[in-house]
Chains A and B, each alone.
Chain A
């Protein structure tokens, strides 16, 4: 608004592209992907020689053995995961917000957010399988020589899979809740309710939760959508007779029979329906929950005797964090183990051979992981900064509608639209290329990067900018020389988050890369059922630690850059 008129047209036009590009990145792939499966699902794919609409794919789909059970598995594990993770997080926040215990557990749980799903799942498997650590300890006491014949991992009802998912979704929901808490006046409301005589947990549920839930609702729905269609965790921990729907879709898509491709497309549409049903069921449960909440609030029951519930919530939260850490620990031990057979609790000798073998084999996947993640997070950051700067300059503040668009790729099952996207890319001849894979990753990385960056962006004091403009600096100059350096820490953190997410992505790399771009994550999942657990442990550990590199850099770089600037070194 104070910029020289000459400069405005070019810069402004360029800047206007950013929100548009952002929207395209978010919505177009999903739309294209869905289009890519709708037509084949009804038998229409001229590229493959079929030009008649028909219901044959759906008939064939319905004839697949155990389809109903697969659908129920997907629905059940999705809903159970979300409900359990939500309950644990909310109870914990309700019971311990503002205490020392809370700060300690929060510091413990937050880094776990960046552990990829596959590594966490493998760690869990190594812990709870009948040949795993827990049973080896039991065997020590009971004197067993062989593992018991218990169906734990890959159990038919998907409990192991649900557990593996819950362990990872708890840190995510906790972080989203903590981010939303400051906007809900939690401290004051809590104080008020408690002076009215309500116990801590009741105070939170009646007073804070309604406002809080509105903020974390989309995140919760994203968890639900993801869990109903997850593939990598299902491959590692989920049942096989039959497998959940998303896994089976992948199998159909890989069959050497072209007819199965159509069935896979129909299956992907079905998955869309399954996820939608889960979301609707959750929304219904929401209303019920809200009704019950209001009912109980009006009854005035104080529920002061909640000490047991508080302790339980802290226990569950510590258990979830502890399990993931224990899993990572077991992976680490396996990676340096010599011979380690049941029922030994400790390996029979340690060796670095596995790491040396891995060094040769993992170079390419590692390079791929890092380069794809770097590219995706850099593009995401650029898009995010551009869009935010555009909004800032046009005088808008964060509009709720725009932020909702962010969730589109997170609410649609990956396997559904990625499959369609792959058809589109291979049709254009670009599948397997670096750019295609990065685009696929971008769709998932960008929402989180923007979400992470939005709050620090908008809480930046605009008076710095006003002061600079009053001194004659242009808007561009303010952006590059004032706002960006001041926001260096949040920007790097958002980039590190994008990096971490990209590293952990499985389906996008697998489907769009077509196997030509193996990453550490695809290697980990491929090896997960393998015979040599030492290799599995080492690979999964690399996968788990890679995101930390990003966060370490994000913390290190500002510390160095701003070593003489106290105000910028403290977390903004």
Chain B
């Protein structure tokens, strides 16, 4: 058996020597030529039908405009994609990888960058449409969860943690972690969060961590055995106190964001949260939520970040992926994305620097009744270093993953 493995591994490894060069975005016309006819497998979270519809629209546009066929591979968690590319790399599959383009940020990007799973040369900053990106006003475009982007991923949209409530049932929602804790104690069974390691659930835990930790500066550093316990103690104290009063007494958790919103729609919980400020409006427009739902943020600020698309090192259709990434950055695609009737995800472009007709696109958008205008979104709390996420998830699983 060992001999067979070794022989097969040798064959696979030798074939890695014959690898094509990565496309160079500086020579855009050749990239376009190479991309024509390619099929791009875009591994992106598929848990929100509206986003899936948007990606389908993108697929139609890039097919029409550039002859690129986009296949949306719906994933439950981006970590799976990291796992897949990692396995491919370890198995010596240096080209014709399964993943061409991946929707990614935060700890998953950090993992892929650290393990050499991405296209080695900076490509995103050299895309034609990158010129429109608002780098100055948005530091998160260049540092993803404190990790330098270095042009290895192209920004796609902005995320800000926003809560929402039904004004008809809950007049004055709690606007800080501490206030939330008190509210939960007074209203048992009316709050839930998705079970980590789902990324929305983890985001909620991060929000609490950032708000409650004694010294926020520590979170910019990598988490270590030394600093983790002290920094996370208030978080777990809050959770210990809150869990018995959670939905289902903390014995079950909604699986993901969709589950959370369904609970909110059915009136099982009174507060929900999302990473997309327009999500409530979109849901209202879709008839899933009553029109008395309103968004709110914590007074001290909520987490905000940028999300990106990246190309793995062994992508089969790298040129096509770049074309798609560039289209995603186009004013037209960004404006459609920001329309709450479609998705409602904020743009990464500097709208005021766009040509007039593109600016008009954005101006014409109706943000929706439940969306907070940008000036009311409150301060953006920076994301902690990605290493904190893994430790929080492990510790959460240890403490609450098994209910006695």
Contact = CB atoms under 8 A, between A and B. Distances in A.
Contacts of A255: 79, 83
Given A147-B268, A426-B87, A46 B2 contact: yes
Residue of A149, A514, A515, A531 ringed by the most chain B CB atoms within 10 A: A531
Contacts of B247: 149
Contact of A258 (B73, B86, B253): B86
B326 interface: no
A241 interface: yes
A64 B170 CA distance: 40
A256 B86 contact: yes
A529 B254 contact: yes
A46 B189 contact: no
A569 interface: no
Contact of B41 (A257, A258, A339, A516): A516
Contact of B98 (A147, A241, A242, A516): A516
A46 B9 contact: yes
B86 A532 contact: no
B126 interface: no
B183 to A, nearest CB: 16
Nearest to B399: A65
B91 A426 contact: yes
A529 B56 contact: no
A242 B5 contact: no
A49 interface: yes
B136 interface: no
A525 to B, nearest CB: 10
B353 interface: no
A145 B168 CA distance: 13
A66 B86 contact: no
A341 B168 CA distance: 15
Interface string A336-348: 0011011000000
Contacts of A429: 12, 93, 96
Contacts of B206: none
A46 B2 CA distance: 8
A258 B266 contact: no
Interface in A26-48: 39, 46-48
Contacts of A523: 74
A149 B98 contact: no
B83 A49 contact: no
A361 B54 CA distance: 11
Given A46-B2, A338-B287, A529 B401 contact: no
B402 interface: yes
A151 B73 contact: no
Interface residues of B, number: 72
B91 A65 contact: no
B237 to A, nearest CB: 20
A480 interface: no
Contacts, number: 160
Contacts of B258: 527, 529-532
Residue of B80, B247, B253 ringed by the most chain A CB atoms within 10 A: B80
Contacts of B398: 65
B2 A341 contact: no
Interface in A131-170: 131, 145-147, 149, 151, 154-156
Contacts of B275: none
B265 A531 contact: yes
B90 A529 contact: no
Contacts of A149: 188-189, 247-249, 268
B379 interface: no
Nearest to A364: B71
A255 B78 CA distance: 10
B315 to A, nearest CB: 14
Contact of B265 (A65, A66, A341): A341
A31 to B, nearest CB: 13
Contacts of A432: 98
Contacts of A514: 84, 98
B261 A531 contact: yes
Contacts of B214: none
B6 interface: yes
B43 A515 contact: yes
Given A254-B83, A341-B266, A516-B98, A156 B403 contact: yes
A154 B108 CA distance: 29
Nearest to B88: A426
Contacts of B71: 364, 516
Interface residues of A, number: 55
A223 B79 CA distance: 33
B91 A48 contact: yes
Nearest to A147: B268
Contacts of B84: 514
Contacts of B53: 357, 360-361
Interface in B34-91: 41, 43, 46-49, 52-53, 56, 71, 73-77, 79-80, 82-84, 86-88, 90-91
A69 to B, nearest CB: 6
B252 A240 contact: yes
B27 to A, nearest CB: 30
Given A147-B266, A151-B248, A254-B80, A529 B9 contact: no
A526 B74 CA distance: 9
Contacts of A48: 87, 90-91
A253 B253 CA distance: 22
Interface string A256-282: 111001000000000000000000000
A297 interface: no
B251 A256 contact: no
Nearest to A235: B255
Given A256-B79, A516-B41, A241 B401 contact: yes
Contact of B108 (A253, A254, A256, A515): A256
Contacts of A361: 49, 52-53, 56
Interface string A179-221: 0000000000000000000000000000000000000000000
B49 A131 contact: no
B47 A526 contact: yes
Nearest to A358: B49
A47 B9 contact: yes
Interface in B247-276: 247-249, 251-263, 265-268
A535 interface: yes
Interface string A449-488: 0000000000000000000000000000000000000000
15 contacts: A46-B5, A49-B90, A131-B263, A145-B267, A147-B267, A239-B252, A241-B401, A255-B79, A357-B53, A515-B75, A518-B73, A527-B258, A530-B259, A531-B283, A535-B49
- Shortest Cβ-Cβ A-B pairs, 8 listed: A66-B402, A530-B258, A256-B82, A531-B261, A131-B266, A531-B258, A149-B189, A529-B255
Given A46-B5, A240-B253, A258-B86, 16 more contacts: A65-B397, A65-B398, A146-B267, A147-B266, A149-B268, A151-B251, A255-B79, A256-B108, A257-B83, A258-B90, A339-B288, A361-B56, A432-B98, A527-B258, A532-B49, A532-B286
Interface of A: 39, 46-49, 65-66, 69, 130-131, 145-147, 149, 151, 154-156, 235, 239-242, 253-258, 261, 338-339, 341-342, 357, 360-361, 364, 426-427, 429, 432, 514-516, 518, 523, 526-527, 529-533, 535
Interface of B: 1-2, 5-6, 8-9, 12, 41, 43, 46-49, 52-53, 56, 71, 73-77, 79-80, 82-84, 86-88, 90-93, 96, 98, 108, 111, 188-189, 195, 247-249, 251-263, 265-268, 283, 286-288, 290, 397-398, 400-403
